[in-house]
Amino acid sequence: MLFEHEIAWENDRVYEEVYRNSIDFPNEFWMQYAQDIEWKRIPNLAYDNEKKEWLSGGISNVCYNCVDRHADKIPEKAAIIWYGDEYGERREISYAKLQKMVIQISSILKGRGIKKNDVVGIYMPMIPEAIASMLACARIGAIHLVVFAGFSPEALKYRLTTSNAKALLTINSFRRGGKEIELAKNIPNELGIDIINLDNIQYHKNVIPDIDWQNSDDDLFILYTSGSSGKPKGVLHSALPYMLYVATTFKVIFGIQPDDVYFCTSDIGWITGHSYITYAPLFHGLTTVIFSGSPTYPEADRYWQIIEQEKVSIFYTAPTAIRSLQMFNKKIIKKHDLSSLRVLGTVGEPINKSAWKWYFETVGNKKCPIMDTWWQTETGGIILAPLRNINQKPGIAGKPFFGIETDIIEGELVIKNEFPGLYKAIVSECATADNALYKTGDGAVYEGSDIKIKGRMDDVINISGHRLGTAEFECAINKISEVQESAVVAVSDDLKGQTAFAFVVLTVTPERDDFAQIVKKIVSSTRNSIGSIAKPDYISFVPDLPKTRSGKIVRKLLRDIANGAENLPELHSVINSEVIDVLKVSVKNPIFCPDMCKLK
Ligand code: WTA
């Protein structure tokens, strides 16, 4: 049954009124949805201005709400359906079974001395055990830190050490795209923390550790993401306020029904995998379908085959995946019956018109609204989305969620009021969130009463929806002895949305043949520092970089040059403007690094 807000998210006229109401009476709005949470002690009010705390006074547990209560009421219902790398590889995990798995893992953690507030790393592919591990941490009040399985040993180590992790949950290996990936071998030896390999563990029967009841504002997880600095930042989210935000946005924006089968193609290594693969669907007792293979292996019909087989009703993916599947022969998708689909969603990057049209017409058969959802690791859940009807405009994220006051200040999207999804602190920087005005870093414009996202205004680059910092690339490139300095900027890419373009100044002028060696070093250094998803697609060796009097690289100019902009702005601030013509010529013929890792 749909309630007022879910219905209002379908209809322009009703939306306005209901939205105003949620802004004028935020306490009423959030407390209505806080009733979806089962509380041990009900919170006094939604937001406590003095304490700067959400759901203050409340006591509950996130895992209890996502697993235990459903294991009591709907034990046989599938909580997770997993698809593996090959056709036919399928596992179904009921809520009762998920509860058992979670209890086993949490008792292992307790047995190893893990206590409330300890940080536990999770380095696993998209398998039910990974989700059970996150929930096991939540159950005992430990803080999980998921590290994407595609990240390198160096990136893994950085995240574990800067967050002071006590243990790491992992498995030996998995298969993806027909290849065996030896995950445990990626773990550096000298970490000095407890490595818990779930493949090698003996499970004890009949261990039932109690649920650790938590204060609302206790911590739930840390997830690292990229910002403007050379190092990723650890974003900390609180337990019940985050849960309230992701559960409410999911319910209202997707308009979920109890028998929905939900399939999101993200990975728990990213925020989407936390909020909308794990927590929101399980909180509502839905079935969440997960896939650890590659969308194009053995054939490019894996998503369509899974949708047909499971009768998926809500499908949530990224524009890059849509673009890459759009390129395949129409017959591949036409082979499959996708009539179970009711709602489609995208996330992670702007969706271009042609991909949107294909998604709407060919995947959704013109009957499914496309929820182009805009949000970030920092916001925990969806901030902007279009209304759920089929009169949408392609590429426009649309309206702020109820209870969220947005504005555009100097071209940047900002959030002006408190909301429960916003992160609590940045772990590695000892900074806490400023709830008064949150600046998103994304440029935006109004189109009528809708908001259109233009993209990042800072030095974050979004490759296939994966958020990486240009400074992280530069740190990796500058480590190479032949490199004097470098500047990495984002250029548009038809498939990946954006890709990295590196301008590199060398200390020596190499022989012609040695360039290839240096290119190899650059690619392997970025892969080692960050992971297989990170490598500049274009490299241009240049004599100098444009700089200001104080020695700052003028990145905006480099970005314009790399993107082939015709008219460059006035360049008074650049002291070595003679280099600009050289740069313009060099970008016409950069070294193109063939894609060694095909789309994941
Ligand atoms: C971008 C992902 C346009 C944006 C959930 C944001 C989008 C960054 C959209 C956050 C969208 C996300 N349209 N751009 N629908 N969704 N972005 O933290 O630049 O990995 O700031 O969170 O992705 O990436 P993150």
Q: Find out whether the beta carbon of 462 lies less than 6 Å from any atom of ligand 1.
A: yes
Burial class (CB in 10 A: 0-12, 13-18, 19+), 91: middle
- Is 272 near ligand 1, meaning CB less than 6 Å away? yes
DSSP-derived secondary structure for 76-91:
TSEEEEEE-SSTT-EE
- Ligand 1 center to residue 82 CA distance, Å? 26
For the chain, how many helices (H) and strands (E)?
Answer: 19, 33
- Find the 417 Cα to ligand 1 centroid distance in Å: 20
| Token pair in block for residue 63 | 């895992």
3-state secondary structure 497-516: EEEEEEEEEECCCCCCCHHH
Q: What is the DSSP string of 297-332?
A: SSSTTHHHHHHHHHT-SEEEE-HHHHHHHHTS-HHH
What is the distance in angstroms between the CA of the first residue and the CA of the last residue of the chain? 37
* Pairing, β 406-409 against β 412-415: antiparallel
Q: Identify the pLDDT of residue 597.
A: 39
Q: Which of the listed residues 456, 472, 504 is the one where a domain comes to its end?
A: 456
Whether 206 and 125 map to the same domain: the answer is: yes
Tell me: do 560 and 449 sit in the same domain: no
- Asked if 441 and 550 sit in the same domain, the reply is no
Closest CA to 70 of 79, 80, 81, 62: 79
Question: Is ligand 1 within 6 A of the CB of residue 224?
Answer: no
Asked whether residue 274 falls in the same domain as residue 408, the answer is: yes
pLDDT in tens, the chain (600 residues): 456 888 889 998 899 999 999 999 999 999 999 999 999 999 999 999 999 999 999 999 999 999 999 999 999 999 999 999 999 999 999 999 999 999 999 999 999 999 999 999 999 999 999 999 999 999 999 999 999 999 999 999 999 999 999 999 999 999 999 999 999 999 998 899 999 999 988 777 667 778 999 999 999 999 999 987 778 999 999 999 999 999 999 999 999 999 999 999 999 999 999 999 999 999 999 999 999 999 999 999 999 999 999 999 999 999 999 999 999 988 999 999 999 999 999 999 999 999 999 999 999 999 999 999 999 999 999 999 999 998 899 988 899 999 999 999 999 999 999 999 999 999 977 666 666 799 999 999 999 989 999 989 888 999 998 999 999 999 999 999 999 999 999 999 999 999 999 999 999 888 877 888 999 999 999 999 999 888 899 999 999 999 988 888 998 899 999 999 888 877 778 889 899 999 999 898 888 876 543 332
Q: Measured in angstroms, how far is the CA atom of residue 489 from the centroid of ligand 1?
A: 18
The number of distinct structural domains making up the chain is 2
CATH label of the domain that carries residue 46: 3.40.50.12780
Rounded Cα gap, residues 571 and 565, in angstroms? 14
**Does ligand 1 come within 6 angstroms of the Cβ of 428?**
no
The rounded distance, in Å, linking the Cα atoms of 387 and 12 is 7
Please indicate, yes or no, whether residues 426 and 467 belong to a single structural domain of this protein.
Answer: no
The answer to whether the CB of 275 is under 6 A from ligand 1 is no
Same domain as 480, residue 452: no
Assess whether 408 and 499 both reside in one domain: no
Same domain, 200 and 57: yes
Burial class (CB in 10 A: 0-12, 13-18, 19+), 154: middle
Ligand 1 center from residue 373 Cα (angstroms): 8
Domain end marker among 456, 486, 504: 456
Measured at the alpha carbon of residue 580, what is the angle toward residues 576 and 581, in degrees to the nearest 5? 130
Closest by CA to 61, choosing from 179, 216, 204, is 216
The Cα–Cα gap between 539 and 173 comes to: 33
Angle at 198 between CA 194 and CA 202, to 5 degrees: 95
Which residues lie across from 499 on neighbouring strands?
491
Q: Which amino acid is at 260?
A: D
| pLDDT at site 514 | 84
Is residue 508 exposed (0-12), middle (13-18) or buried (19+ Cβ within 10 Å)?
Answer: exposed
Q: CA 150, CA 167: separation in Å to the nearest integer?
A: 19
Q: Which atom of ligand 1 is nearest to the CA of 377?
A: 18
CA of 89 to the centre of ligand 1 (A): 32
Would you tell me how many other CB atoms lie within 10 Å of the CB of residue 353?
10
- The residue to mutate among 376, 401, 472, having the most atoms of ligand 1 within 8 angstroms of its beta carbon, is 376
**Are 425 and 493 within one domain?**
no
- Cα(352)–Cα(349) distance, integer angstroms: 9
Name the token pair of 541.
Answer: 């060796």
- Give the domain extent around 44: 5-456
pLDDT at 431: 62
CATH number for 525: 3.30.300.30
Of 434, 456, 478, the residue that ends a domain is 456
pLDDT at 36: 97
Is residue 372 within 6 Å of ligand 1 at its C-beta? yes
Distance CA 273, CA 222 (A): 13
- The pLDDT value given to residue 1: 43
Chain-centroid distance of CA 471 in Å reads: 19
* Sequence-ordered alpha helix ranges (H) in 88-195: 95-111, 128-140, 153-162
Sequence letter at residue 196: I
Domain shared by 484 and 420, yes or no: no
Strand ranges, E, within 457-512 = 460-463, 466-469, 483-493, 497-506
- Determine contact, residues 125/292, Cβ cutoff 8 Å: yes
Dist CA 81 CA 94 (whole Å)? 9
Contact criterion met (CB below 8 Å) for 290 and 81: yes
pLDDT of 432 reads 65
Same domain, 272 and 319: yes
Give the predicted TM-score (pTM) of the model: 0.94
The neighbour count for residue 331, using CB atoms within 10 Å, is: 8
3-state helix, strand, coil in the chain (%, to 5): 30, 25, 40
List residues bridging with 251 in a β-sheet.
Answer: none
Taking the CA of residue 460 as reference, the ligand 1 atom at the shortest distance is 19
Residues 434 and 491 in one domain: no
CB atoms within 10 A of CB 41: 12
116, 143 Cβ separation under 8 angstroms = no
List Cα–Cα distances, 242 to 37, 122, 216, 422, in angstroms: 12, 20, 9, 8
Rounded distance between C-alpha atoms, residue 268 and residue 121, angstroms: 12
381 lines ligand 1 (CB under 6 A): no
Q: Please report how the helices 153-162 and 514-529 are oriented relative to each other, as an axis angle in degrees rounded to 10.
A: 40
| Beta strand spans in 6-77 (E) | 47-48, 53-54, 59-60
DSSP state of 142: P
